[in-house]
Amino acid sequence: MMHIDNLVMVRGTKPVVHGIQLRLAPGAITALMGPNGAGKTSTVLGIAGVIEPAFGQIKLDGLDLKGLAPDAIRRHGVATVPEGHQVLRELTVRDNLRVAGSGLGRGELDAALQRTLDLFPELKDKLAQPAGDLSGGQQQMVALAQALVVTPRFLVIDELSFGLAPTVVARLVPVVRRIAAQGIGVLLIEQFTQLALGLSDHVYVLSRGRVSYDGTPDRLRADPDILHRAYFPVSDREAVGLT
């Protein structure tokens, strides 16, 4: 298990995540949902080591990852796919993947590239092309492949569907399921409710930096008011005359 306890994130001088607790299991897909400004991306940046949490613990096998540099966190088995299918646009697809696996030995890297490309056969014919010339969906595949080259134990995906057509997202959904089936725990941050609920085994909902729901996707489907209250807190509903 990966344990995130009492996580507090501060942006500038303003606390944006207030002591949340998350549990991530190997081989399971956990969705983190919530409206814009709820603290989802700040949570991702804290897990990835891009911004050091102000307080709390991020533990994997008893090791607290809080305060470690992003490359150290990757070496310990937690890889992050940032929002916006970020790739090294001037480099070829092959070189994007080799850069991501630069800490591996030659034999390890070749084996990792083969395993990763088996998940993304569409990229096999694109290896010599600059990543910036690919479609948005193919760039998202490269971004996912970069994270998977290091064979992580946990994969954090920030906005899988960002800027992508529904047909492209539909091609990525089975890939995420296959990643989890390999025993990799997935934390999926996703705005599209049906996509998140359809993929996940467990769901957390953030509202104003706090966990407002911790449970199964089935319960959220059965009681849509839970999400409605998270996306439109009481004070907001009062402001627009909904209460």
Tell me the CATH number at 27: 3.40.50.300
Q: Mean pLDDT across the stretch 132-141?
A: 94
- Terminal Cα-to-Cα distance of the chain (whole angstroms): 41
Q: What is the pLDDT of residues 18-76, one digit of tens each?
A: 999 999 999 999 999 998 889 999 999 999 999 999 999 999 988 999 999 999 999 99
Write the pLDDT tens digit of every residue in 83-96. Answer: 888 899 999 999 99
What pTM did the predictor assign?
A: 0.90
Range 159-164 contact pairs with CB under 8 angstroms and sequence separation of 24 or more: 159/83, 159/84, 159/189, 159/190, 159/191, 160/81, 160/188, 160/190, 160/195, 161/190, 161/191, 161/192, 161/195, 162/83, 162/84, 162/85, 163/84, 163/85, 163/136, 164/85, 164/136, 164/137, 164/140
With bands split at pLDDT 50, 70 and 90, how would you rate the model's confidence at 145? very high
Residue 104: per-residue pLDDT:
80
Domain range for 43 is 2-239
Neighbouring C-beta atoms of residue 160, cutoff 10 Å: 26
pLDDT-derived band at 103, boundaries 50, 70, 90: confident
Domains in the chain: how many in total? 1
**Count of CB atoms situated within 10 Å of the CB of 33:** 27
* 206 DSSP 8-state letter: E
Q: How far is CA 115 from CA 7, 44, 136, 174, in A?
A: 34, 26, 22, 16
- Give dist(CA 81, CA 108) in Å, integer: 21
Distance CA 239, CA 243 (A): 9
How high does pLDDT run on average in the chain? 91
